[in-house]
Every structure is written in C-alpha cells, then in structure tokens.
Structure 1
Amino acid sequence: MANTYESDFYAWANTQAALLRAGALDRADIEHIAEEIESLGKGELRELENRLTVLFTHLLEWRFQPTLRSRGWELTIKEQRRRLRRHLAQNPSLKSKLTQAIEDAYGDAILEAARQTGLAEEAFPQTCPFTPEQAIDDAYWPA
C-alpha cells in the first residue's frame, strides 16, 4: 500500500477511505493516513497566514500611502477580513495560533508592501502595529 501512496495518490486515498468505512483498520495505511490528516491541519494554518499577509499588506499600503488609497485596496481589506473571520469561525482552535500567525504573516507583509509601494522595508514598523481585533474589525482603518 505504501507503494500506491507514492505512485498513485488518488487510488491510495480512495482505497484508504473504503478501508476506513469498512472498519478494516488492520489493512489501512495508518501512518500515511495520519500524515495526511496532519497535513490538512497545517494547510488550515497556512491559509490563516496567507489571509493575514494579504490583509496586512493592504493595511500597510493604506496607512503609508494615503494619497494612493483606492477602492481596490478598500475592497481587498474588507474581503480578507470577511474571509479571516469565516476561517477562524470554521477552525476555532486556530485562535490559539493567532499570535504566531500574525508575527509570521506580518514579516511577509512588510516585504510585499515594500515591493508594491517602492518604500524601504525599514519604512514600516518592524512589529505588527495591528491587534488581532483591529485586523478583523470592519470599522478599523489605519490613519
């Protein structure tokens, strides 16, 4: 079965699902199943970090380039906030990872904001100036 895992993941996944549904745990590839389940969880954390990165990038642009504010930035900020709230509601245990996710995402957002604005990385605060509450609050717009 491990060979199928490496050579035909689709077939392996369907076989494993059938074995689990049949209660045939003794024939299931438990180690790889556990690995895939863990991978799904990591994917949810990556999704959180990606949403935060996009949001922070646009909040930084909003704050540091006020004369260039656009409807597109505003709508992207609103969209990311909606998606973040929904993602956290669907995965409430991610709230325990929020502080680290914010730290990681903010570092990426500085690089992306510098790339998009042409400003130096040092122009942006080196620690995230947005609280988790501000990040997802539709009423919060950085001055």
Structure 2
Amino acid sequence: MSATYQTDFNLWIETTSQLLLENRWQEIDKEHLIEEISDLGKSEKRAISSQLIRLLLHLLKWQYQPQRRSDSWLDSITDARTQIELTIKDSPSLKKYPQEQLQESYQKARYQAAKQTGLIIKVFPEECLYSLELVLDEDWLPE
C-alpha cells in the first residue's frame, strides 16, 4: 500500500477510503494516513494566511495608491475576505488564527506592496494599523 502512495496518490486515497469503510484496519497505510491528516490542518492554516496576505496587500494598495484603485483590487479584497470566512466556517477551531497571523501577514503584505507599487517600504507603517475586525469587514476600505 505504501508503494501506491508513492506512485498513484489518487488510487491510494480511494483504496484507503474503501479500507476505512470496510473496517479493514490492519491493511491501512497508517503512517501516510496520519501524515495526510496532519497536512490537511496545515493546508487550512496556509490558506488563511495566504488570503490574509492578499487581503492586506490590496488594502495597502487601496490606501496608498488611491489614483490606481480598480475593480480588480476590490474583487481581490472581497474574494480574500470570502475565502477566509469560508475556511473558518468549515473549521471553526481556526477562528482565532487570523488574529494570530495578522502581524506576520501584514509584514509580508507590506513588503509585497512596496514591490508592486514602487513605493519605498517606509511609506507603509511598520505595524498594521488595521484591526482584524476592520480587515474582515466586508463594508470597510481604508481611505
């Protein structure tokens, strides 16, 4: 079964699912199953962090380049908020995770904003001035 994991991941998933349904515990590739389940949690966290960085990036661009505001920036802001909301809806235990990641995500967004706008990084405050509540508020944009 371990060889299948290495050569045909989809087949490994189907086989493992079937073995679980049939309660054939001894035949299950436990090592890889545990690894995959652990990675699912990491994936959910990574998705929130990625969307939070994207959201903060576009909020910074919105605030510091008002002359370049566009519907695509607004779409990106809206979509990032929606994706964070959906991920937390699916995994309510991650409700506090965006707050835990706000400063780290902001630093990454700040760096990206400087690169994308051509503005020097010092233009953007070192600390995130937006509260998480505002960042996630679907009706809020920085002015």
- What's the counterpart of residue 125 of structure 1? 125
Equivalent pair of 2:106/2:128 in contact (CA under 8 Å): yes
Deviation at 1:129, TM superposition (A): 1.7
Task: Give the TM-score taking structure 1 as reference length.
Answer: 0.90
Deviation at 1:35, TM superposition (A): 0.7
Unaligned runs of 5+ in 2: none
Unaligned runs of 5+ in 1: none
Deviation at 1:138, TM superposition (A): 2.0
- What's the counterpart of residue 18 of structure 1? 18
Deviation at 1:74, TM superposition (A): 2.1
Deviation at 1:94, TM superposition (A): 1.0
Task: Give the TM-score taking structure 2 as reference length.
Answer: 0.90
Does structure 1 residue 48 correspond to structure 2 residue 48? yes
Q: Which 10-residue stretch deviates more, 67-76 or 108-117?
A: 67-76
Equivalent pair of 2:48/2:84 in contact (CA under 8 Å): yes
- What's the counterpart of residue 107 of structure 1? 107
- What's the counterpart of residue 82 of structure 1? 82
- What's the counterpart of residue 3 of structure 2? 3
Structure 1: which 4+ aligned runs deviate by more than 6 Å? none
Counterpart mapping for 1:28-43 below 5 A: 28-43=28-43
CA, structure 1 residues 71+4, in 2 after alignment: closer, same or farther (shift >3 Å)?
closer
Equivalent pair of 2:52/2:98 in contact (CA under 8 Å): no
Q: Deviations over 1:86-118 (max 9, x none)?
A: 222222111132223223321221122112100
| Percent of aligned positions that are identical | 36
